[in-house]
Chain A
Amino acid sequence: LAKTTQPISMDSYEGQEVNITCSHNNIATNDYITWYQQFPSQGPRFIIQGYKTKVTNEVASLFIPADRKSSTLSLPRVSLSDTAVYYCLVGVRPRDDKIIFGKGTRLHILP
C-alpha cells in the first residue's frame, strides 16, 4: 500500500470551503485514492474514490493532479456537522482487502 501523509488537524468556519490535501508520492499505476469520514462515536464512512482528474458526488469533490502524487478532498460550504476525522487511503481496486487506517485529519468546524 502506498504511504499517505495528511495534516493531523485543520480548523475552518461554517460556510467555508475546506480542502484537505493528501500526499502519496509512491502511488502505483493501479492504485485508487479513497477517502473516509468518521464522525465522533460512529464508524468510518466511505465518501469518495477516484483514479485521476476530478470526481464529484453529493458529499465532496476529489481533485487528483496528472502526476497523482497527491489528492485534495474538497468539502463545499462546511457546517458544524462536518466536524470529523477524514482518512486518505491509497490502494489497488478491486481488492477486498483490509483497510489500513492512518491518523487521518481531524477537521474542526467553528461557528
Chain B
Amino acid sequence: EAGVTQFPSHSVIEKGQTVTLRCDPISGHDNLYWYRRVMGKEIKFLLHFVKESKQDESGMPNNRFLAERTGGTYSTLKVQPAELEDSGVYFCASSQPGTTYEQYFGPGTRLTVT
C-alpha cells in the first residue's frame, strides 16, 4: 500500500511569490490533514478535510493560505503571496474514519521563503 506522498519535497521561493503544495493521501482515506512546523516550533495543525469538505480550518494562519481537495482525493495548499514567516515544513496526513490519532503522515514539503 502506497503511503502519503507530498510534492515537492523542497521549494525555495521569493517573498511575494506563490507556491502550491500537493498531497496525495492513502487511497480510501476520507480524512486529510495539513500541519506545519516552523523553525524551532512544535508541529501545528492547519486544517482537516473530510472527503472534499473542510471539517476544521481553525489552524489556517490567514487568508494567504488556501486549501482545496476537489473530488475528495488529493489536496493542494496554496500560499499567495508568500511571506518570510511562512517558511517551514508542511506535513500532510490522512486517516480512515473512526481511528483517532492513527494518522499517516507524508514526508513533508520544506518551504523556504527568501
Residues of A with Cβ closer than 8 Å to B? 32, 34, 36, 41-46, 49, 89, 91-103
Contacts and interface: CB of A to CB of B under 8 A. Distances in A.
A102 B42 CA distance: 6
A45 B99 CA distance: 14
Interface residues of B, number: 28
Contacts of A102: 42
Interface in B65-107: 91, 93, 95, 97-107
B45 interface: yes
B93 A96 contact: no
Given A43-B91, A43-B106, A43-B108, A93 B101 contact: yes
A92 to B, nearest CB: 7
A4 B106 CA distance: 25
A92 B100 contact: yes
Contact of A96 (B43, B91, B98): B98
Given A93-B100, A93-B101, A98 B48 contact: yes
A52 B15 CA distance: 50
Contacts of B108: 41-43
B107 A49 contact: no
Contact of B33 (A42, A89, A93, A98): A98
B105 A96 contact: no
A102 B102 CA distance: 17
B101 A43 contact: no
Contact of B93 (A34, A42, A43): A43
B8 interface: no
B13 interface: no
